[in-house]
Amino acid sequence: MKYGLLRIAAAKPLVKAGDVKFNTDNIITMAAELVRDNVAVVVFPELSITGYTCADLFEQTLLLESAKDSVCRIAVESEKWPGLCLAVGLPIKKGTRLYNCAAVVCEGKILGVVPKSYLPNYGEFYEKRWFAPGLDVKYETINISDSFSDIPFGTDILFEHFGVKFGIEICEDLWVPQPPSCKQAMAGAELILNLSATDELIGKHDYLLSLLSQQSARCRVAYAYASAGYGESSTDLAFSGNCIIAENGSIVAQSPRFSLDSDFTIADVDIANLQHDRTKFNSFSQKEAKNFLICSTSNAEKDQFATLPDEELFRFRKLFRHPFVDERPEDLEKRCDEISSIQAWGLATRLKAIGCRHAVIGVSGGLDSTLALLVTTKAFDMLGLSRKGIFAVTMPGFGTSRRTKGNADRLMELLDVTSLEIPIGPSVEQHFKDIGHDPAVKDVTYENSQARERTQILMDLANKENGIVIGTGDLSELALGWCTYNGDQMSMYAVNASIPKTLVRFLVEGYAKETSNKELREVLMDIVDTPVSPELLPVDSQGGIAQKTEDLVGPYELHDFFLYQVLRHGTDPRKIYKLAVKAFEGEFDRETIKKWLKTFIRRFFNQQFKRSCMPDGVKVGSVCLSPRGDWRMPSDASSRLWLDSLEDFD
């Protein structure tokens, strides 16, 4: 697999109940089309060769024999489809029992046949009238024709294609308390195919989406689900043709329902990410592997996807430029409220535990301190404490602009906190004299002296007021080390420690949209629109911001993208680069992306020492850099291996 990707599909062909030739022709036509899209695995609906709604026709020998002939025909045709593995549904009789089955076909072979484990017997779904449950069918073989004999048959089969193991469920199997996919995943399956014939009922579709996302998350798999659609009998039920693909808790692709045409949905699922999660979370054994037979395709090492050009990569995978931010605008308000509630609850819990009724926070008029102040007021509201117990301090220095100072002052007033102004200029100038630094030299000493002076003021004020210092630095700054050691890097509780810069902006904007105070909304939106800056270098001739962070360390939306891939998936730099090129197409060129990726790697490694002693702060999302649990790394680790991998690579 190239970069750990596998291209899969869920397909719904047109059917006619009982018209085996018509149904088979449609399956073959769709398979040939999917080959052109370089699909590796496709699942068709339950009993797709005969139609699901044949009812007592399943007792007719002619239908059963025709279905067997058709699956053999599909197998023969599949020799023309290099690299494509299909799961199709049909009834198969073995001895005196008839089973509702899935046959897996690839490049001229029928690899195996899996019977449905659990049969519904309620409402219009009385499958036990025709079929036998296959739950106990194991370690058997079946002869489908003279050319296709001794085919593995049972529920104890996994299949392997291009090195990826996958299992089979059939409709009802998913809806029981312990679906077969659970054991299949514990035996090593990274992909589950479900051949289904689910009818439509009020509210059922949403429940189905939830069920699929939850099962894919629980088993840490990709899950492809294909359900019967147009052409099935509507005597008592409506079948809308759900084709859905989930991956590790997320619905990544789905086709429209209620379509009169055949259709399919395709997704590039990231098997490498799934494997990483199974390793990282260390609760995923493969103790069931000994109970399964593995049926492998003959070309397991000949993945045609591996040779695809870059423009074909990720064609069927949605890549989010801002992976920390919910891309659905309709959910922004709910998401912002949940995140800020977690932040505030963490702070409130700490304040309550230590019997503290006061907080001290530096407010610059920038995004981070704004969010920290908003969270602090929310925590005080939770505890029923007066907001006057929040000492919000502006500390104008050599680079403080009129815009940020004005926004800070107005914000503190509107939030009804105790506001203080303590200029740092005279103290820093005295410090320069004490250490013999020429203030005309605008170097790291010039900048860091200001940051440490501000921290000293906050710490001493906290002692005076019997309070704690609230840290304002965010996750992105910690990743890049864009903070002053024992300056803004230090606090007594860091509420933004797991909030990346791209999310900080959305959260402040979310607060702005939520408030009914028009003035507060205007101030917050102006803060959102203000360039990110530490404001440590003198302002320009118009009193504006002269020092812009993203001009120095690179765009935060790129760094947050890199950070997510490194921490969440353990992705190697080459794959991160390819993902970023695709995700930011039209915004950043390849050279720019590679430049800032190298910067990210260098800084991420050599700034670890600042993270090794970071203060407490509650975890909000799946990615965090706390040395007490989420990220432990030697402060003197070498980045050479990671940087070298990007040399001469495009």
Whether 323 maps to a domain, the answer reads no
Q: Are residues 288 and 401 in the same domain?
A: no
Helix (H, G, I), strand (E, B) or coil at 496: coil
Q: Percent of the chain at pLDDT above 90?
A: 80
Q: Which residue has the tokens 């910067």?
A: 599
- Give the end of a domain, one of 259, 279, 309: 309
- pTM for this structure? 0.92
Torsion of CA 412, 413, 414, 415, to 10 degrees: 50
Please identify which of the residues 12, 68, 94, 116 carries the catalytic annotation.
116
Long-range pairs, 114-117, Cβ under 8 A, ≥24: 114/153, 114/154, 114/155, 114/157, 114/168, 114/170, 115/153, 115/154, 115/155, 115/170, 116/46, 116/170, 116/171, 116/172, 116/173, 117/155, 117/169, 117/170, 117/173, 117/180
Whether 322 maps to a domain, the answer reads no
pLDDT for 259 equals: 85
pLDDT for 262 equals: 87
> For residue 71, what is the domain's CATH number?
3.60.110.10
Annotation marks residue 116 as catalytic:
yes
pLDDT for 536 equals: 77
Per-residue pLDDT, averaged over 176-197, amounts to 96
Query: Would the pLDDT of 398 be above 70?
Result: yes
Distance of CA 61 to the CA centre of its chain: 49
Whether 49 maps to a domain, the answer reads yes
Query: Would the pLDDT of 300 be above 60?
Result: no
Residue 321 CB coordination number (10 Å): 17
pLDDT for 330 equals: 65
> For residue 541, what is the domain's CATH number?
3.40.50.620
pLDDT for 305 equals: 65
Please identify which of the residues 12, 46, 336, 447 carries the catalytic annotation.
46
Q: Are residues 568 and 487 in the same domain?
A: yes
pLDDT for 302 equals: 58
pLDDT for 236 equals: 85
Per-residue pLDDT, averaged over 266-275, amounts to 95
Please identify which of the residues 54, 72, 85, 171 carries the catalytic annotation.
171
Q: What is the pLDDT of residues 473-489, one digit of tens each?
A: 999 999 999 999 999 99
Number of domains in the chain: 2
Whether 649 maps to a domain, the answer reads no
Per-residue pLDDT, averaged over 170-184, amounts to 95
Q: Are residues 168 and 60 in the same domain?
A: yes
Whether 319 maps to a domain, the answer reads no
pLDDT for 42 equals: 98
Whether 316 maps to a domain, the answer reads no
Q: What CA–CA distance (Å, rounded) separates 172 from 195?
A: 10
Q: Are residues 180 and 252 in the same domain?
A: yes
Amino acid residing at 281: F
Annotation marks residue 72 as catalytic:
no
- Give the end of a domain, one of 309, 340, 361: 309
Question: How confident is the prediction for the chain on average, in pLDDT?
Answer: 93
Confidence of residue 8 (pLDDT cuts 50, 70, 90): very high
Amino acid residing at 518: K
Q: Are residues 346 and 302 in the same domain?
A: no
Q: Are residues 259 and 353 in the same domain?
A: no
Per-residue pLDDT, averaged over 161-177, amounts to 95
pLDDT for 327 equals: 64
Whether 324 maps to a domain, the answer reads no
Q: Are residues 248 and 337 in the same domain?
A: no
Q: Are residues 417 and 279 in the same domain?
A: no
Q: Are residues 259 and 345 in the same domain?
A: no
- Structural domain range at position 536: 329-644
Q: What CA–CA distance (Å, rounded) separates 392 from 378?
A: 14
Query: Would the pLDDT of 287 be above 90?
Result: no
Q: Are residues 470 and 386 in the same domain?
A: yes
Q: Are residues 261 and 367 in the same domain?
A: no
Per-residue pLDDT, averaged over 139-149, amounts to 93
- Give the end of a domain, one of 279, 309, 339: 309
DSSP character string of 261-309: S-EEEEEEEEHHHHHHHHHHH-----TTGGG-EEEE-TTTT--GGGG--
Annotation marks residue 219 as catalytic:
no
Query: Would the pLDDT of 311 be above 80?
Result: no
Per-residue pLDDT, averaged over 213-218, amounts to 96
Nearest to 188 by CA among 295, 62, 289, 48: 289
Q: Are residues 269 and 349 in the same domain?
A: no
Please list, residue by residue across 192-221, b when 16 or more beta carbons sit within 10 angstroms of its beta carbon and e when fewer do.
bbbbbbbbbeeeebeebbebbbebbbebbb
